């Protein structure tokens, strides 16, 4: 099988591991920078060109698209799909996961556990936003933020109002969320492939830091998850239509609550903590599922 790894940087750990895993299983793998692709949108004959070359050889692609290039990256994935190339994660599913508000609305519709979340446009509604999530402390998130950037913990109502007003004054779209105190700065990353959680880890924020992202200095360790947590992760992936993803959850007094579903989860932390060949499991999934022209949008909305 000829596999395209859609990544801007071939030196990244996750990209290298996917190439190694594909080659170890006898496949050809090539890294393609999506921003160097250009598309010919012609009736009945869509094509993709890369550095002057028409790309026709791929049986499947694995998108590793950064949040900052979501719009163009998903357009490239969609073009591959139109050409009949199988994509591990489909363009529509990636777009769903990258829109924090849309993804939370879809998860809410399915009855999955979520922290109480509010969203508004007008500065006149700030008091209502704060009251709906139970008051301070609360968490304020910029919709376009990634890896913990644009996430603020406001410990008092006055500080919450100041932060919300500042973001809104900059025309930033924000979510205001309930702060899950009992999580104590820890979260779970469940790595889903297909309809199965293949590995999980607990992430703990650095001293004085409520965000547990590894990019923010958090530490990861192996963890045993409950049946409810496992089922929640699988249902979240299915709801957004993702075949491969990382589902981030908090342990609340009411059970697992989902914080985010990541369509391009990093492999370094989960492989090191679990000791598993996660990249190899992704390639195995691709071997089972790849059929030309069989990409179909999963999930609704």
Whether residues 133 and 174 share a domain: the answer is: yes
Confidence bin at 268 (pLDDT 50/70/90):
very high
Domain containing 146 equals 117-179
65 and 30, same domain (yes or no): yes
Sequence-separated (6 or more) residues with CB below 8 Å from residue 143: 99, 100, 101, 172, 173, 174, 175
14 within some domain: yes
Is-contact 260 56, C-beta < 8 A? Answer: no
Residues 10 and 52 in one domain: yes
18, 62: one domain: yes
Q: What angle do CA 148, 266, 37 make, to 5 degrees?
A: 100
Give mean pLDDT, residues 277-281. 98
Output the pLDDT for position 124.
85
Assign residue 134 the CATH number of its domain: 3.30.1490.20
Give domain status of residue 50, yes or no: yes
Same-domain pairing of 155 and 90:
no
- The CA distances from residue 54 to 47, 50, 51, 221, in Å, are 7, 6, 8, 44
Q: Does residue 299 surpass a pLDDT of 60?
A: no
Whether 133 is covered by a domain: the verdict is yes
Residues 80 and 150 in one domain: no
Q: What is the pLDDT of residues 184-195, one digit of tens each?
A: 889 999 999 999
Choose the final residue of a domain: 179, 194, 213: 179
Report which of residues 252 and 148 the model is more confident about. Answer: 252
- Asked whether residue 47 is domain-assigned, the answer is yes
Please state, in angstroms and as integers, the Cα–Cα distance from residue 66 to each residue in 82, 191, 242, 246, 252, following that order.
Answer: 22, 18, 16, 14, 30
Last residue of a domain, one of 179, 199, 232: 179
Give domain status of residue 88, yes or no.
Answer: yes
Q: How far is CA 26 from CA 7, 89, 233, 283, in A?
A: 21, 22, 31, 11
What is the predicted pLDDT for the residue at 83? 93
The residue-averaged pLDDT of 119-129 equals 87
Same domain, yes or no: 64 and 134: no
207-250 per-position pLDDT tens digit: 655 565 555 557 889 999 999 999 999 999 999 999 999 999 99
Are 63 and 137 part of one and the same domain? no
Peptide bond into 282 cis (omega under 30): no
**What 3-state class would DSSP assign to 171?**
coil
- Statement to judge: residues 79 and 123 lie in one domain: no
pLDDT in tens, 13-49: 999 999 999 999 999 999 999 999 999 998 989 999 9
In a domain, 277, yes or no: no
Query: Do the domain assignments include residue 265?
Result: no
Q: What is the mean pLDDT of residues 59-72?
A: 95
Instruction: Note the pLDDT of residue 291.
Output: 72
Global pTM?
0.89
CATH number for the domain that contains residue 72: 3.40.50.20
pLDDT given for residue 146 in this prediction: 64
Q: Mean pLDDT, the chain, as a whole number?
A: 91
Residue 193 belongs to a domain: no
Mean pLDDT of the region 68-78: 96
How many domains is the chain built from? 2
pLDDT of 255 above 60: yes
Contacts of 222 (CB under 8 A, 6+ apart): 200, 201, 202, 273, 274
Q: Are residues 75 and 130 in the same domain?
A: no
Asked whether residue 6 falls in the same domain as residue 92, the answer is yes
- Is residue 81 domain-shared with residue 133, that is, in the same domain? no
For residues 146 and 91, which has the higher predicted lDDT (pLDDT)?
91
């Amino acid at each position: 099988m000829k596999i395209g790894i859609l990544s801007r940087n071939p030196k990244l750990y996750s990209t290298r591991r996917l190439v190694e895993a594909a080659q170890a299983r006898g496949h050809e793998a090539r890294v393609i920078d999506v921003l160097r692709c250009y598309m010919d949108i012609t009736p009945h004959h869509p094509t993709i060109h890369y550095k002057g070359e028409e790309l026709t050889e791929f049986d499947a692609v694995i998108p590793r698209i950064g949040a900052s290039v979501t719009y163009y990256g998903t357009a490239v994935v969609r073009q591959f799909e139109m050409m009949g190339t199988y994509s591990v994660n489909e363009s529509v599913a990636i777009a769903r996961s990258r829109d924090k508000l849309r993804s939370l609305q879809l998860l809410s519709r399915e009855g999955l556990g979520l922290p109480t979340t509010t969203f508004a446009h007008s500065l006149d509604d700030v008091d209502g936003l704060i009251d709906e999530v139970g008051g301070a402390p609360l968490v304020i998130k910029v919709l376009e933020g990634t890896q913990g950037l644009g996430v603020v913990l406001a410990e008092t109502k006055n500080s919450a109002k100041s932060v919300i007003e500042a973001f809104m004054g900059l025309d930033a779209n924000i979510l205001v969320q309930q702060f899950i105190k009992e999580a104590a700065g820890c979260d779970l990353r469940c790595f889903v492939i297909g309809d199965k959680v293949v590995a999980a880890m607990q992430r703990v924020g650095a001293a004085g830091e409520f965000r547990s992202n590894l990019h923010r200095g958090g530490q990861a360790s192996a963890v045993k998850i409950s049946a409810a947590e496992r089922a929640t992760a699988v249902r979240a992936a299915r709801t957004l239509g993702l075949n491969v993803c990382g589902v981030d959850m908090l342990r609340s007094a009411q059970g697992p609550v989902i914080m985010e579903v990541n369509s391009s989860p990093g492999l370094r932390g989960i492989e090191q903590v679990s000791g598993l060949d996660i990249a190899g499991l992704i390639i195995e999934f691709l071997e089972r599922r790849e059929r030309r022209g069989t990409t179909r949008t999963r999930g609704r909305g």
